[in-house]
Amino acid sequence: MALSTKDIQTFARCAIEDAARPLYAATDERKAMLLAEARVYARAYYAQAQDDVKNSGFRVTQRVKDILWATLESIANTEMAKE
């Protein structure tokens, strides 16, 4: 079974959300700031998103890589436009 585009985009979003999760008891404002920062640097989680796909038992094909990159790029650009 192949991954759908929506599934691949979910892997990309989850990589960012996991990276933004604080390892300590943070305030809601701090959590929001960490998530915004992770979204700005979304492209940095490209390898992590690929590893997540691979560890889920799916193959990382060029199509998967392209969709992951496009999704991360879109997230970063959207967050940068807010600033």
In whole angstroms, give the CA distance from residue 70 to residue 76: 10
Which residue did the predictor score with more confidence, 82 or 42?
42
In whole angstroms, give the CA distance from residue 78 to residue 4: 23
Q: Which pLDDT value is given to residue 23?
A: 79
Torsion of CA 74, 71, 35, 41, to 10 degrees: -70
Q: Are 75 and 38 in contact (CB under 8 A)?
A: no
Res. 83: pLDDT tops 80: no
Q: Which domain, by its residues, includes 22?
A: 5-82
- Whole-prediction pTM: 0.88
Res. 48: pLDDT tops 80: yes
- Number of folded domains that form the chain: 1
